[in-house]
Each structure stands twice: as C-alpha cells, then as structure tokens.
C-alpha cells in the first residue's frame, strides 16, 4: 500500500504512517486485500473487493466478510485519535442489503466516544453503487501492553 494513495485528512504524519504500517503488516488484511481510502482524526475508510471464495451461493458476500470490514475500519478509526492500539470488545452489525463478489465494498467509520480507555465507533458499509449494505457499532479498549511514541510501537 502506497501512502500517496491514501488521503490524510489532518492526521499527524507519525500517526498516519503508524496506522498504515500496522494494518498493512497484518496477514489477514493483506490476504483479504484491504485498501485504505482515507484517515483523519476520529475517522477512517477502507475498501475491499470480495473474491468468490468469500461468497455464498448467488455471489453474495458472506456476512462474516462484511463484519470483518466493519471491525477493521472501526478499529482503524479508534487508533486515529492518538495512535494508541485498541482492541475490539463488542461488535454489533445490522445487515441492510446484499453485497456482491468482485465489486467494491467500502467501509467508513467515525469515533462517537473518544475515551482514553474505551472508545465507541460506528461504521457504514456501502456497495459499488453507494447503496448502504450494513451499519455497525463497536466498543474498543486500549491495549495497555502496547504504546506508541510518535508512531513507534513499544511493547511493555
């Protein structure tokens, strides 16, 4: 993933670079082909092109794939506040319309409670036509075993 392809909407460059490095190093993100669209304070957007192996009969994307995108984009938004690592505690998702394989699926997330320990984030997922596919809300807790100083990960 090239940093020039991802829009920085006002994040500190160290936090921006930290998030891109952290998420591109995750095997599951690479396998699923996640691509950042933008990152900003309290917000993030990612897209994927779900392949047929992640679909159900009829070419509909499996709900678990949609949930993975929701969880990932919300987690990224949680990190944008201060560059601290957060882990999912709870995730709720409402499926509204089907998404289809080999078509862009975009997630947009925004932090609604930017606590220092607990963050609440909401996301909306859209298909390639801009139609709402799902809405989700997640609760995230700061991982105290990991801290960042100016975008550099330190394990305590």
- Over residues 9-33, the pLDDT tens digits come to 999 999 999 999 988 889 999 999 9
Average pLDDT over residues 57-65: 95
Correct CATH for 3-155 of 3.20.20.70, 3.10.129.10, 1.20.1260.60, 3.40.50.300: 3.10.129.10
User: Domain-by-domain residue ranges, the chain?
Assistant: 3-155
Provide the Cα torsion 48, 43, 5, 8; round to 10°.
180
Q: Fill in the DSSP letter of residue 100.
A: B
pTM to 2 decimals? 0.92
């Amino acid at each position: 993933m090239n940093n020039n392809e991802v829009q920085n909407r006002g994040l500190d460059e160290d936090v921006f670079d930290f998030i891109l490095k952290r998420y591109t190093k995750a095997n599951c993100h690479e396998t699923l082909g996640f691509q950042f669209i933008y990152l900003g304070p309290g917000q993030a957007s990612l897209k994927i092109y779900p392949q047929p192996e992640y679909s159900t009969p009829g070419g509909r994307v499996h709900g678990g794939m949609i949930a993975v995108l929701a969880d990932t984009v919300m987690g990224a938004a949680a990190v944008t506040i201060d560059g601290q690592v957060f882990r999912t505690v709870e995730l709720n998702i409402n499926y509204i319309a089907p998404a289809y394989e080999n078509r862009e699926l975009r997630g947009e997330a925004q932090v609604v409670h930017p606590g220092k320990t607990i963050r609440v984030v909401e996301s909306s997922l859209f298909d390639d036509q801009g139609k709402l596919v799902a809405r989700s809300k997640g609760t995230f807790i700061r991982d105290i075993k990991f801290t960042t100083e100016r975008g550099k990960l330190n394990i305590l």
